[in-house]
Structure 1
Amino acid sequence: MKYSFPAALLLLLGLHLSPVVCAQQQQVAPKQQAMGHTARPWTYWWWMGNAVNEADITHQLEQFAKAGLGGVHIIPIYGVKGYETKFIPYLSDRWLAVFGHTVREGNRLGLGVDLTTGTGWPFGGPGVSTAMAAKEWKLVDGKLTAVPTKQQVKRPAPGAQGPVIDYFSKQAVERYLHRFDSTLAHSPQQPRAVYNDSYEVYGANWTDNFLTEFKARRGYDLQSQLTAFLDTNQTETSILVHQDYHQTLSELLLDGFAKPWDNWAHKSGYRTRNQAHGSPGNLIDLYAATDIPETESFGSSRFTIPGLRVDANYEVDRFGTPNPLAMKFASSAAHLMGKLLVSSETGTWLANHFQVSLSQVKPQVDELLASGINHIFYHGIPYSPPAERWPGWSFYASTNYGPSSHFWPHLPLLNQYIERCQARLQRSKPDNDVLVYFPIHDLWATRAKSAGGIHQLEVHHVERWLLPQPFGRLCEQLSERGYAFDFISDELLKSLTVTKQGIRAASGATYQVIVVPKTTYIPTTTLRLLDKLAQQGARIVFDGQLPQQAAGFYDHKAQTATVQQLGQTLQKRPTVTVSANLFETLNKSGVRSETWAAEGLSFIRKRQGSGMSKSGLSADTTQYFITNLGNRFKQGWITLSATGLVSQYNPLTNLTTALPVRKGKNGHNDVYLSLESGQSCFINVRPGTPVFTDAAALQRVINPTGTSIVLKKPWHIQFIKRNPEQGQPALRLSVTLPTLTDWTTLSDSAGYFSGTARYTTTVNIPAGAATSAYLLDLGDVRELAEVRLNGQPLGTAWCIPFQLTIPANRLKTGENQLEIDVTNLSANYMRLYDRLNPGWKKFYDINIVDIRYKPFDATRWAAVPSGLLGPVILTPSSL
């Protein structure tokens, strides 16, 4: 097993290593331990034009630390007009000095620092010669020949323009990295990790020595099958040749870029973070070759959470939506190879600029956490000098999580929630039963839709390559039926062994079964590996059929005969099943499923702790993170596959409570779970005899005594605070209304106001009811509410559902005063500001665009509804 992080981090996470492993870690430990708090969310930090200085760096880092961030990821990017004299050449002595200052200040403040291996994306720049640049094939005099694609680095820092490197060439990659050896490597301050953005090399499908590499790897000359290679009609020979072509590209990307970059980083004392998606290769292998696999959440998922808003201008057909199955490529690689951290670029273009709320961010984070991500990176925060007036420097893409954002004062609430979740997820290990084989050769047998006639496996449009495949459809069904699973590639099958406990991965994670989806093409080496595992006792289930053909053109007829013969052999193994009903087979095999997932609940199941109980059985605690991203489940009995002592932890409130438990069927017990749409929780099941809930206590939980109270008295509304960053005039408006309404309708000026309004009313509590606990449901809140009851703080409602618990005895008999301070978005003020101060849009390259990538113009926006819209209801609570 390869451990990917310095021992200090592992100790921080509560994991213990042997002295030998610790010694190995010390050999590659960064020169400067800028690890930061990995449980806290980190952020992309765009250095615009590298126009940075020590004083402003310190100021911003102090703001970040105070807000609860754990680290920053520096990305040098295009500059700001008017600041040209302050641009600092990338990797110059002056640049290294400000970077060193950043790391030192990060260490002082407990913030980690990561760094892109370049500027903008992809890798490239002024030092990239034609020989090093990205290539495509072209037919010249009947011969496949390499020619430059002429693609340039996207969004480079000033002076860093230049061609994109050839990612398939180890020589080109190593020459590109040499620049860092002669600059960054000599700095006493080092980044925790270096980073590679999502693979966005367009049209590149070749390298100078491709034909040589192809022949050595595939066993024949591609030029000899030129007709089949050029054929676009999907003939059998063409399919086989294109499988070999893609297999070679995949291997060259792994051997030419991913592994050399990772090895180079380790020699320099850095870790690696890699967004492998978008690559024309097997994503599982590419993610596995890095220390911190990183996925991406771009746009907004179409959750059915009531009240959750989605930007109507976001173009799904153009940009796609996040998908948990795409995220699982990164987490699967981590689970199989023992990577402790799995990260994600989070919240990119969640909504238009100035229109994102914290309530929109949380469900996207929950989707990532349930998919195995445990190291959130916000996308992101532009470096902006404190002296720059609002809105400061802005990156072309939303979301802005920085100090100029309308939600910055309350961002610590989201940060604290994420920290509580990630601390638990980072301390635990995957507890999945199923390994699903990813038959990439079947994908390569389909017509490629990306530029250059290749398959680029990107996360934005999984409906184009993943979901139509039997693999994708099967994984969707596994999720819906509550099976916990990871993906595995042909290559990583080699790392599996079989023990008495099951199928063991290199990480030590143990699985109960390998599932092979309906597959047409498979390498003979893969089928031999499966047969070897079956001989050792591994359970293997083929869904519906055995593969019938070998992948690839070389000696295809003989290889296919071998595939069919191996299939017959496999069918005779006692642990192998070719199943006409996969899920019935899994159930009969004792593979665990969480049936309540069918009610729209998403989850990840993990194990925490190690040791043995007195009986000699494992004493690990089973940990579930469960999130309700749908609208089918509210409360009810669910049957967990784990049995024992059950407790529930709410990361939003930091409270742990017992759950009602009753005897269930087949030795399992039922727990009563209340989890409304938009909510999430942890359920921990530790060894021990369950304590069953008596009927009276159970009734108090299911049907709390008391009557709901709808607040019907008039509301007094007073505008008390504008956003101080914006410098807008205060709104001197105070009104009393019989019912709640959107405050933008109260006056013309209210439609341009960004800030906080105070809503005040009274609540009459009848005699005898004041001793009860209540749930305060605020209904629709635009966008965040700080609540006081009788002058005392009750809490802040910032996510859906906008609810707060009123403990027993906080209410008094008779009249109670309720004050609710509601803060809205900055979008309404931007409608005015963009008309009066259009010069704030002063950035090079793409400048500022809206969510449709058109020039940004807020003057045409309609006013965004703001304030407390309700209805506000008090309902009896069991707490």
Structure 2
Amino acid sequence: MRSIFFAGLLLALGLNTLTISSAQPRSALTGQQPAPSTARPWTYWWWMGNAVNEADITHQLEQFAQAGIGGVHIIPIYGVKGYENQFIPFLTDRWLAVFAHTVREGKRLNMGVDLTTGTGWPFGGPGVSTDMAAKQWVLEKGKLTATLTKQQVKRPAPGGQGLVIDYFSKQALEQYLRRFDSTLAHLPEKPRSVYNDSYEVYGANWTDNFLTEFRTRRGYDLNSQLAAFLDTTQTAISQLVHQDYHQTLAELLLDGFAKPWANWAHKAGYKTRNQAHGSPGNLIDLYAAADIPETESFGSSRFPIPGLRVDANYEVDRFGTPNPLAMKFASSAAHLLGKPLVSSETGTWLANHFQVSLSQVKPQVDELFASGVNHVFYHGIPYSPPAETWPGWLFYASTNYGPTSHFWPHLPLLNQYIERCQTRLQISKPDNDVLVYFPIHDLWATPAKSAGGIHQLEVHHVERWLLPQPFGRLCEQLGEQGYAFDYVSDALLNSLTASQHGVRSPSGATYQIILVPRVTYIPETSLRQLAKLAQQGVRIVFDGQLPQQAAGFHNHLARSAKVHQLGKMLQKLHSVVVSPNVFETMKRLNIRVESWAAEGLSFIRKRQSNGHSTDTTQYFITNLSDRFHQNWLTLSATGQVIRYNPLTNQQEPMPIRKGENGQNEVFLQLEPGESCFINVHSGTPVYIDVAGQQRLVSQSTTPAIPLQNPWQVQFERARPALARPAKEQPDLGLAAPMSNLVSWTTRSDSAGYFSGTARYTTTFDLPNGVTASRYVLDLGDVREVADVRLNGQPVGTAWCLPFRLSIPANRLKASGNQLDVAVTNLSANYMRLYDRQHPDWKKFYDINIVDIRYKPFDATTWDALPSGLLGPVTLTPEVR
């Protein structure tokens, strides 16, 4: 917790430090009104079999609210065996009654409620006829025609079984939604938002009137180019026809589903949350049609943070890893159109059941924040009756954030961290300079790798469609070098206008340049819009070359000639550069760059209005690498600089010096795994003198003091329960003091089955001759959360990497200090025993319960996971 360490040093340097008390009202955090429920994390809430009742709903919502959860997203899902008589069919009168009760209780508790427009996923159910159902094309008698995919709703709840709808048909959607018009719409209690999951309509690539729509939209009959459409050898004509085919699918998905669904929701009084990813369309446009665009963080990102663990059984080749470039499709749409919230399905399959720690969750959340997400949804919490024995009801593909989770007692710490971050991220606006054109027609000209021969732009496998493209490679470089950027689609490109500061989006966001990656195909309408903007003074940089051809088959030669003509005109404009090195060009154009990002730091830069003529520049910076620890950095924003630590709720001014190039530099200490906000306000900076700079350097090299006395270890609470007094507990091999900290699972065979809390106690003396204002307690390797007390008084809880706490020097004695560290481990070790003794806990319908490889869950073969305080434990003095 370097910011606390830093605070003491700043006091020594004569600078001020402000600690914001967590007891203050939320308005004290920002000077704004109290934070809304959206500032707190929300959660997916699976209603298993809809076997719910009012009393248990109230009980669970009160638990969630007390833990700091801001809202729930109800997903009716498959049920639990043995509870069939409690199942409530979806949208029946009884179901509507318990749903209305949920919304009322949410309002009472200042919690929001969202609802999937259906059960399981995708949309579908008992009222979906074959005319309404998802379709694919087949070739009959030399002509393209439609046939059913026969896909059923996946993981449906009782009353939700049936065919999946045709997402390309407005008529099918409208007919499907009538079921909600006659039921849900009549309730006085409404959800905040309705929700659509990621596009998982397998093999669907057609609709009944596709040929008519194709002819109207593309200008020719697809059957007339049947040979090119069926060609798989990537001939030039085949590429053009497939561009047209995908363009038509994309437009039908937008016009037949995304926009009509949003219009229906708005008339009913709901907002929409849409996971556009996976769709065969332009993700930017599909996200833009929703009130709350939602991305997804599936799996673990393999950050090189020292001590961060990943599940070795997670199959990266099969499921992929989260990628910030995929996340930016959702945030870019929001930034361009001024949508205040960008959400995320967070932590899906982060690790196997019973094996996820809070220290694994936080870096994934930080990656989302740096990518523009500001509305986290945990994935998630199954509805589980309080009377149900441990581990309760579980959903097959989630991290359990609910009351039966091993980290539930400490979850409020993560929730508080997220609330502090999201409070700031939600009241600020993006401050990005570069708008990158997304050339989807180049992608559509490549062989499709998804079912049905279509390009489904998923978040799981960006290596299949995003990273190989020049667009993806360029955006990776932009992020690595420290440029702040968003994406723009062809449709949204036409909504841009020139301004005296650059190019303005419909939301009022202003960008300094439009950057066009190396592109082969472009709609001539898009190039014409770029030319129009360039003529009005907007700076446009083409990477390496101008676009070569018009997209699509119809009148291709004539339209390509127009592309070349527009290209020649663009080359004559002073505001246009065709650059062999776009980064050198952007440097010459004075495009802001945060060069310190190259040291492994991720960030988002935003603006926050302070009611005056100038805004505050706000950075959220997270260290998800192992390269950065501390350095002098040059921020693109200048002024008075304040650092805020959302983990400790402390803020302090940052030391500033004049660099060799005359620019202001700030000194940032940020260990791997840490994050912070930096706010730059207008005003004259206060510079640190040479002696102060030397103290900063010497402070960073102060040697740590190892705590070498033996440790006493005693279990306090655990599963299996230890019913007898501590002195009568069974021998776990812990009676003898530990001279070296090791996992408690190595002390005896029985200790390998325990999940709970053990208290580690040791004593230490301070070394002679050391004068310090504070000490940093570094616990080393902690499995998994450590509550720390010193001389009988609480110090704090270490729950994320690095496991460090700050201790004021006046809390320490010269000799005889007693340090108590209560460490709580995962529930995985106990599950090794429980799964053998009680295999009947796995009693769920549909997929039942599976492991992270989608194989039947079996914990009996697991090895015991390391548990407890593993150290080494050290104290580092902050020397005056």
TM-score for the superposition, normalised by structure 2: 0.94
Structure 1 residue 729, shift from structure 2 partner? 11
Which residue does 1:622 correspond to in 2?
617
Separation in structure 2 between the aligned mates of residue 650 and residue 505 of structure 1, nearest angstrom = 32
Which residue does 1:713 correspond to in 2?
709
Separation in structure 2 between the aligned mates of residue 582 and residue 725 of structure 1, nearest angstrom = 63
Q: Assess if the C-alpha contact under 8 Å between 2:134 and 2:151 holds in 1.
A: yes
Separation in structure 2 between the aligned mates of residue 728 and residue 459 of structure 1, nearest angstrom = 51
Which residue does 2:655 correspond to in 1?
660
User: Equivalent residue of 1:334, what SS?
Assistant: helix
Q: Assess if the C-alpha contact under 8 Å between 2:135 and 2:146 holds in 1.
A: yes
Which residue does 2:820 correspond to in 1?
819
Structure 1 residue 876, shift from structure 2 partner? 2.1
Which residue does 2:747 correspond to in 1?
746
1:38-67, CA deviations, whole angstroms, 9 ceiling, x for partnerless residues? 000000000000000000000000000000
Which residue does 1:5 correspond to in 2?
none
Q: Assess if the C-alpha contact under 8 Å between 1:644 and 1:685 holds in 2.
A: yes
Which residue does 2:765 correspond to in 1?
764
Separation in structure 1 between the aligned mates of residue 624 and residue 289 of structure 2, nearest angstrom = 32
1:573-605, CA deviations, whole angstroms, 9 ceiling, x for partnerless residues? 110000011000001101001000001100000
Task: Pick closer, same or farther for the CA change 1:629–1:149 going to 2, 3 Å.
Answer: same
Separation in structure 2 between the aligned mates of residue 759 and residue 314 of structure 1, nearest angstrom = 33
Separation in structure 2 between the aligned mates of residue 657 and residue 481 of structure 1, nearest angstrom = 27
Please give the residue correspondences for 1:397-796 in structure 2 after superposition, counting only pairs within 5 Å.
397-609=397-609, 611-613=611-613, 619-664=614-659, 668-704=663-699, 707-723=703-719, 732=730, 733=732, 734-769=735-770, 771-796=772-797
Counterpart check, 1:835 vs 2:836 = yes
Task: Pick closer, same or farther for the CA change 1:726–1:580 going to 2, 3 Å.
Answer: farther
Task: Pick closer, same or farther for the CA change 1:562–1:350 going to 2, 3 Å.
Answer: same
1:134-168, CA deviations, whole angstroms, 9 ceiling, x for partnerless residues? 01001111111011100000000023111000000
Task: Pick closer, same or farther for the CA change 1:207–1:726 going to 2, 3 Å.
Answer: farther
Separation in structure 2 between the aligned mates of residue 136 and residue 388 of structure 1, nearest angstrom = 44
Amino acid at match of 1:671: V
Which residue does 1:866 correspond to in 2?
867
Amino acid at match of 1:716: Q
Matched pairs, number? 847
Counterpart check, 1:226 vs 2:226 = yes
Which residue does 2:7 correspond to in 1?
none
Please give the residue correspondences for 1:307-318 in structure 2 after superposition, counting only pairs within 5 Å.
307-318=307-318
Please give the residue correspondences for 1:81-96 in structure 2 after superposition, counting only pairs within 5 Å.
81-96=81-96
Q: Assess if the C-alpha contact under 8 Å between 1:311 and 1:352 holds in 2.
A: yes
Which residue does 2:18 correspond to in 1?
none
Separation in structure 1 between the aligned mates of residue 720 and residue 747 of structure 2, nearest angstrom = 22
Structure 1 residue 498, shift from structure 2 partner? 1.0
Separation in structure 2 between the aligned mates of residue 13 and residue 348 of structure 1, nearest angstrom = 31
1:290-316, CA deviations, whole angstroms, 9 ceiling, x for partnerless residues? 000000000000100011000000000
Q: Assess if the C-alpha contact under 8 Å between 1:482 and 1:598 holds in 2.
A: yes
Task: Pick closer, same or farther for the CA change 1:210–1:728 going to 2, 3 Å.
Answer: farther
Structure 1 residue 770, shift from structure 2 partner? 6.2
Task: Pick closer, same or farther for the CA change 1:36–1:432 going to 2, 3 Å.
Answer: closer
Task: Pick closer, same or farther for the CA change 1:124–1:515 going to 2, 3 Å.
Answer: same
Amino acid at match of 1:146: A
Which residue does 1:7 correspond to in 2?
none
Q: Assess if the C-alpha contact under 8 Å between 1:770 and 1:811 holds in 2.
A: no
Structure 1 residue 351, shift from structure 2 partner? 0.3
Please give the residue correspondences for 1:102-113 in structure 2 after superposition, counting only pairs within 5 Å.
102-113=102-113
Q: Assess if the C-alpha contact under 8 Å between 2:30 and 2:424 holds in 1.
A: no
Task: Pick closer, same or farther for the CA change 1:149–1:729 going to 2, 3 Å.
Answer: farther
Structure 1 residue 766, shift from structure 2 partner? 2.8
Which residue does 2:13 correspond to in 1?
none
Please give the residue correspondences for 1:7-156 in structure 2 after superposition, counting only pairs within 5 Å.
37-156=37-156
Structure 1 residue 131, shift from structure 2 partner? 0.3
Which residue does 2:373 correspond to in 1?
373
Task: Pick closer, same or farther for the CA change 1:878–1:568 going to 2, 3 Å.
Answer: farther
Q: Assess if the C-alpha contact under 8 Å between 1:253 and 1:281 holds in 2.
A: yes
Task: Pick closer, same or farther for the CA change 1:515–1:771 going to 2, 3 Å.
Answer: closer
Q: Assess if the C-alpha contact under 8 Å between 2:320 and 2:461 holds in 1.
A: yes
Separation in structure 2 between the aligned mates of residue 381 and residue 696 of structure 1, nearest angstrom = 53
1:777-802, CA deviations, whole angstroms, 9 ceiling, x for partnerless residues? 10000001000111110000000000
Q: Assess if the C-alpha contact under 8 Å between 1:404 and 1:725 holds in 2.
A: no
Please give the residue correspondences for 1:214-293 in structure 2 after superposition, counting only pairs within 5 Å.
214-293=214-293
Amino acid at match of 1:155: R
Amino acid at match of 1:718: Q
Amino acid at match of 2:708: K
Structure 1 residue 728, shift from structure 2 partner? 12
Separation in structure 1 between the aligned mates of residue 136 and residue 252 of structure 2, nearest angstrom = 14
User: Equivalent residue of 1:495, what SS?
Assistant: coil
Structure 1 residue 15, shift from structure 2 partner? 9.1
Which residue does 2:850 correspond to in 1?
849
User: Equivalent residue of 1:160, what SS?
Assistant: coil
User: After alignment, is 766-775 or 706-715 more displaced?
Assistant: 766-775
1:431-490, CA deviations, whole angstroms, 9 ceiling, x for partnerless residues? 000000000000000000000000000000000000000000000000010000000000
TM-score for the superposition, normalised by structure 1: 0.95
Task: Pick closer, same or farther for the CA change 1:409–1:492 going to 2, 3 Å.
Answer: same
Quote the sequence identity (%): 77
Amino acid at match of 2:803: F
Amino acid at match of 1:799: C
Separation in structure 2 between the aligned mates of residue 800 and residue 417 of structure 1, nearest angstrom = 14
Q: Assess if the C-alpha contact under 8 Å between 1:335 and 1:507 holds in 2.
A: yes
Which residue does 2:387 correspond to in 1?
387
Structure 1 residue 703, shift from structure 2 partner? 2.0
Which residue does 2:195 correspond to in 1?
195
Separation in structure 1 between the aligned mates of residue 661 and residue 130 of structure 2, nearest angstrom = 67
1:536-595, CA deviations, whole angstroms, 9 ceiling, x for partnerless residues? 110000000001111000000011110011000001111000001100000110100100
Separation in structure 2 between the aligned mates of residue 204 and residue 228 of structure 1, nearest angstrom = 20
Structure 1 residue 69, shift from structure 2 partner? 0.3
Q: Assess if the C-alpha contact under 8 Å between 1:13 and 1:426 holds in 2.
A: no
Which residue does 1:28 correspond to in 2?
none
Q: Assess if the C-alpha contact under 8 Å between 2:719 and 2:830 holds in 1.
A: no
Q: Assess if the C-alpha contact under 8 Å between 1:643 and 1:668 holds in 2.
A: no
1:198-248, CA deviations, whole angstroms, 9 ceiling, x for partnerless residues? 000010000000000001100111111111001111000000000000000
Consecutive unaligned residues of structure 1, counting only runs of 5 or more, are: 1-9, 17-34, 614-618
Structure 1 residue 267, shift from structure 2 partner? 0.2
Amino acid at match of 2:389: R
User: Equivalent residue of 1:765, what SS?
Assistant: coil
Structure 1 residue 721, shift from structure 2 partner? 1.2
1:64-116, CA deviations, whole angstroms, 9 ceiling, x for partnerless residues? 00000000000000000000000001011100000010001001111100000
Amino acid at match of 1:308: L
Which residue does 1:21 correspond to in 2?
none
User: Equivalent residue of 2:164, what SS?
Assistant: coil
1:471-516, CA deviations, whole angstroms, 9 ceiling, x for partnerless residues? 0000000001000000000000111111112111111111000000
Task: Pick closer, same or farther for the CA change 1:245–1:594 going to 2, 3 Å.
Answer: same
Separation in structure 1 between the aligned mates of residue 217 and residue 879 of structure 2, nearest angstrom = 66
Amino acid at match of 2:541: V
Structure 1 residue 698, shift from structure 2 partner? 2.8
Amino acid at match of 2:828: A
Consecutive unaligned residues of structure 2, counting only runs of 5 or more, are: 1-26
1:269-325, CA deviations, whole angstroms, 9 ceiling, x for partnerless residues? 000000000000000000000000000000000100011000000000000000000
Q: Assess if the C-alpha contact under 8 Å between 1:768 and 1:813 holds in 2.
A: no
Structure 1 residue 726, shift from structure 2 partner? 11
Structure 1 residue 388, shift from structure 2 partner? 0.3
